[in-house]
């Protein structure tokens, strides 16, 4: 009996001593970083074992989250929509089909699906052909009303709006609202193509040929893609560019129009946007379940997926797919998790906005919450794994750290964040959030995050909770 008491005494004191050492090591790293760069740092680290190690540093201060915002978005989506949620895109009519002719309008009704592709639209049109339809007497109408907004978020960086990672959100979208343009100039001629094919954009050529070649550029003005510059008639030029479409719902409808033409279905009426009121289903396309879609948002840090999922929360909870309702629904969800929302501001779902604010405490509590739910593995599998995949494929990838940090990165100008889980060498699990704002160089933020993660992995504790892979799915 005395031996058991003595052993428990040793275990308790070693654990306490170990915690103090770990705390000292982390504080030393913070002091070192502050000496190099007076960055704003916020940290919360917590062991998921009972009465385990906790470290706090500015943990309730507001920080710009960058893509760590996606953690809040995707956890809230799982909580409000369920991992089985599927998006629907519908072809419908207000008329009737007779002798291969659709007497009425053909509607394309968007459901906010971030994953809808040209191939999906082609499959839907093939099913129309199975009805024997080869002509539409009415109009081709696109319904994008699933979201009450279309465009970009408040506080998105203006310098980045010409890139596809800031593609506009919309209730009716295709190919992540990104258009690929290829230009070949050869033997004094210009060949240009678009993917996907559409009726929305038009090429305008303004190329001058001369003996000496100059610069050839692409620029977009409204629905015109202008190719301009100087080219040599004796030299070939190949250009490839990807551009975010400026009117996603109309663009998507125009892609469908091209597909209908290709499949021999002629639409006699006009093409425009409008709300479908009374209609009958012709074809329904369903997306993969939400548990699969959040992998793109988190593991690959796909902004478009995050924005579509974000507005879906507001639509499904409050009946309106807007920034306001989605932010409100997420704040309500955080409060149900007993998270203080005083220093939290939500302007988008992706973290592109510099108006967003969150705290290390909020992020850790979100990660703690989902860990204790039946949805944990759906969420866990959406995160990047150090040295293995996603945005952590080339970070924290030495032999000892590889596969032990499962987390979400976040980066915009002067913001570099990392939040997630660490599996220590003894299989103890830490949940953490390390937020760094207002730094001079990204190397400072990287060093802070990587040193702390390394210490957590290499610092064994006496008490463990087992490997994450044994977490109960039920």
Domains of the chain: 13-84+290-466 (3.40.710.10), 88-151+248-286 (3.50.80.20), 174-244 (no CATH)
Reported residue count of the chain is 474
Picking from 67, 66, 73, 65, the residue whose alpha carbon sits closest to that of residue 314 is 73
CA atoms within 13 A on the CB side of 340: 9
Predicted confidence at residue 187, as pLDDT, reads: 83
6-59 pLDDT, tens per residue? 444 434 444 554 678 888 899 989 998 877 778 899 999 999 987 778 999 999
Contacts of 415 (CB under 8 A, 6+ apart): 63, 64, 65, 66, 436, 437
178-186 and 237-244: which strand pairing? antiparallel
- The pTM of the full predicted model, rounded to 2 decimals, is 0.92
216-241 pLDDT, tens per residue? 889 999 999 999 988 887 788 899 99
State the Cα–Cα distance between residues 219 and 61, nearest whole angstrom: 42
Average pLDDT over residues 350-373: 98
- Which pair of structure tokens corresponds to residue 102? 């659709």
- Which pair of structure tokens corresponds to residue 193? 């193509």
Under a CB-based contact definition with an 8 Å cutoff, are residues 99 and 135 in contact? no
Average pLDDT over residues 371-376: 96
Angle at 128 between CA 124 and CA 134, to 5 degrees: 135
Exposure of 284 by Cβ count < 10 A (0-12 exposed, 13-18 middle, 19+ buried)? middle
408-436 pLDDT, tens per residue? 999 999 999 999 999 998 889 999 999 99
- CA 170 to each of CA 5, 153, 202, 223, 312: distance values in angstroms, whole numbers, following the listed order: 64, 12, 22, 17, 11
């Amino acid at each position: 009996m005395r031996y058991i008491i003595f052993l428990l005494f040793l275990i308790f004191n070693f654990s306490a001593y170990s915690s103090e050492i770990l705390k000292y090591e982390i504080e030393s790293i913070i002091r070192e970083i502050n000496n190099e760069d007076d960055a704003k740092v916020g940290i919360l680290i917590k062991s998921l074992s009972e009465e385990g190690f906790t470290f706090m540093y500015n943990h309730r201060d507001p920080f710009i989250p960058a893509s760590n915002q996606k953690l809040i978005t995707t956890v809230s989506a799982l909580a409000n929509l369920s991992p089985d949620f599927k998006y629907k895109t519908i072809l419908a009519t207000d008329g009737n089909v007779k002798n291969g002719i659709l007497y009425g309008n053909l509607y394309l009704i968007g459901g906010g699906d971030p994953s809808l592709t040209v191939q999906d639209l082609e499959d839907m049109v093939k099913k129309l052909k199975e009805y024997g339809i080869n002509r539409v007497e009415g109009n081709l109408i696109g319904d994008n009303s699933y979201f009450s907004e279309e465009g970009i978020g408040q506080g998105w960086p203006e310098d980045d709006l010409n890139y596809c990672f800031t593609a506009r959100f919309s209730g009716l979208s295709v190919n992540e609202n990104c258009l690929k343009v290829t230009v070949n100039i050869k033997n004094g001629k210009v060949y240009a193509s678009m993917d996907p094919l559409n009726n929305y954009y038009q090429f305008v050529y303004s190329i001058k040929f001369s003996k000496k070649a100059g610069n050839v550029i692409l620029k977009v003005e409204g629905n015109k893609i202008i190719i301009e510059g100087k080219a040599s008639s004796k030299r070939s030029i190949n250009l490839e560019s990807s551009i975010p479409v400026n009117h996603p719902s109309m663009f998507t409808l125009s892609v469908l129009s091209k597909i209908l033409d290709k499949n021999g279905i002629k639409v006699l009426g006009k093409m425009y946007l409008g709300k479908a009121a009374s209609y009958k289903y012709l074809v329904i396309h369903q997306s993969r379940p939400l548990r699969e879609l959040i992998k793109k948002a988190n593991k690959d840090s796909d902004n478009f997926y995050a924005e579509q999922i974000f507005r879906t929360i507001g639509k499904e909870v409050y009946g309106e797919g807007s920034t306001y309702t989605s932010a409100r629904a997420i704040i309500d969800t955080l409060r149900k998790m007993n998270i203080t929302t005083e220093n939290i501001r939500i302007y988008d779902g992706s973290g592109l906005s510099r108006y967003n604010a969150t705290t290390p405490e909020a992020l850790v509590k979100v990660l703690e919450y989902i860990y204790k739910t039946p949805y944990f593995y759906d969420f866990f599998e959406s995160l990047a794994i150090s040295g293995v995949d996603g945005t952590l494929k080339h970070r924290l990838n030495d032999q000892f750290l590889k596969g032990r940090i499962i987390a979400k990165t976040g980066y915009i100008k002067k913001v570099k964040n990392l939040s997630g889980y660490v599996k220590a060498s003894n299989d103890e699990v830490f949940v953490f959030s390390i937020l760094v704002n207002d730094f001079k160089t990204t190397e400072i933020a990287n060093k802070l995050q990587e040193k702390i993660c390394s210490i957590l992995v290499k610092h064994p504790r006496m008490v463990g909770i087992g490997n994450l892979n044994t977490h109960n799915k039920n």
